Amino acid sequence: MYRRSFIKTMGIVGAGIASGATTFLSCTGSDVSNAKLKKWVWIVPESGLSEGEWEIRLDKLKQKGIDAVLVQVYASHTAWYESDFLPVQEPLLETLIEVGKRTGMEVHAWIWTMPNNNPYYIENHPDYYVVNRLRKPAHTHPAYVGYYRFMCPNQPGVKDFLTRNIRFLANLGGLDGIHLDYIRMPDVIIAEALQPVYNVVQDKEYPEFDYCYCERCRQLFREKTGADPLKDLDDPAASKEWVQFRYDSVSSLVNGSLIPPIQQKGKQATAAVFPNWESVRQQWSKWNMDAFFPMLYHNFYNASLDWIGEQLISQIRALDKPAPVYSGLFVPALTAEELREAVDISIRSGAAGYALFSYRSMEEDHWKLL
């Protein structure tokens, strides 16, 4: 699995999607027609499909009520579009933009943000990468899985790299938006159901998973507080100032460097975000996004479907700036009827719609239900 190798490791494969074609009651008590909900699907692309085959797929999705696709076009190494600064997997995005116009489907470029697994940057820019409390950098000692080579949000070169990519995409005519994923630090504490997969018990923040302690971050924190997090804090994990510094480092990058070039070109800036945001230093309630997609993968947290609604209510209330929140639902963990219930709970809890992860999980029985 490209988006989360956790999913592959857990052996979760196959399932379908469905939505209730009924009228839902919003948490405010007003009727919300299913036709007014915006429905999205995440797509991890396949190589070698013709333009005609993609048109058939997007047209089918449109007929089933899907309004927009989030297509993974950059996942920390190769890109699915042509540029002069990234290796090219296949120039698919340009094709999908044209297909989207013909089918009436919104096309959004889904990109990984902070991970960078390009060998050129690993070899030539080791300073770009986050460092844990044991002083081990992510490009040589990634946490959990090999692709967890996260970059540091405070490094000027990282900002230049990210904004170059975003500006390029924002300039593509016909593209509806840019969907940012992995805008965060590595998980200092992973979701409860995933801990046994990696044979870890994370009852507190352990140093090997705690980022970032690079020279740049330590210098900026010293300038701000007079303290070095490694030398002057007895327990860095217990320091509210140091924790907030990491939240603010990510938020400053997002609001100051990532969102403006997207919105200036009239495109939607959206983000896939974590419900347990503290564990990934991702205080997304402070971001100026046009829309949010919390990944409410209830099974990762050993939670019931009701947890989805509880999270939505809490997260929507926490937003500094009101914006649509779309419930990100993990299809492989849901039967068709469970997905219908998850959608119902989402809308009653204030979601503006829902996003399904992912296209490859759809099965015929669920298409029939749609």
CA distance 285 to 277: 9
User: What's the token pair of residue 303?
Assistant: 């939670």
**How confident is the prediction along the chain (370 residues), in pLDDT tens digits per residue?**
333 444 444 333 222 222 222 222 333 333 344 558 999 999 999 999 999 999 999 999 999 999 999 999 999 999 999 999 999 999 999 999 999 999 999 999 999 999 999 999 999 999 999 999 999 999 999 999 999 999 999 999 999 999 999 999 999 999 999 999 999 999 999 999 999 999 999 999 999 999 999 999 999 999 999 999 999 999 999 999 999 999 999 999 999 999 999 999 999 999 999 999 999 999 999 999 999 999 999 999 999 999 999 999 999 999 999 999 999 999 999 998 999 899 999 999 999 999 999 999 977 776 766 6
At residue 22, the 3 state secondary structure works out as coil
Q: Domain residue spans in the chain?
A: 1-36+295-358
Beta strands in the chain (DSSP E): 24-25, 31-32, 38-43, 68-74, 106-112, 177-181, 268-273, 291-294, 326-330, 353-357
For residue 108, what are its two tokens? 């959004």
